Amino acid sequence: MSTAKKMKNLEIDSRGRVTLPKELREGVDTFAIESEEDGTLILIPQRQVSLDDAKLIESLKKSAQEYKKGKLHKMPDEWMK
């Protein structure tokens, strides 16, 4: 992923909408938007995942945090099946 910043002017239509260029929308389901104090808007690409996948991701994050803290646990045998 490139960290180079690109700027493009987009027009707002009569209904207040902006169309994002295709290259910005590829592989993206939605965008979160952050508003800075100076009026700058930051769009953060988002992907939707199933509830099961979200639970798995949270579990992996928790496991990584425990690993970093040195808390290692034996993996249950049933997980290896």
Query: Rg of the Cα trace of the chain?
Result: 20
Q: Is the pTM of this model over 0.85?
A: no
**Which of the two residues, 39 and 6, has the higher pLDDT score?**
39
Across residues 64-78, what is the average pLDDT?
76
d(CA 20, CA 78): 47
CB 45 within 8 A of CB 53: no
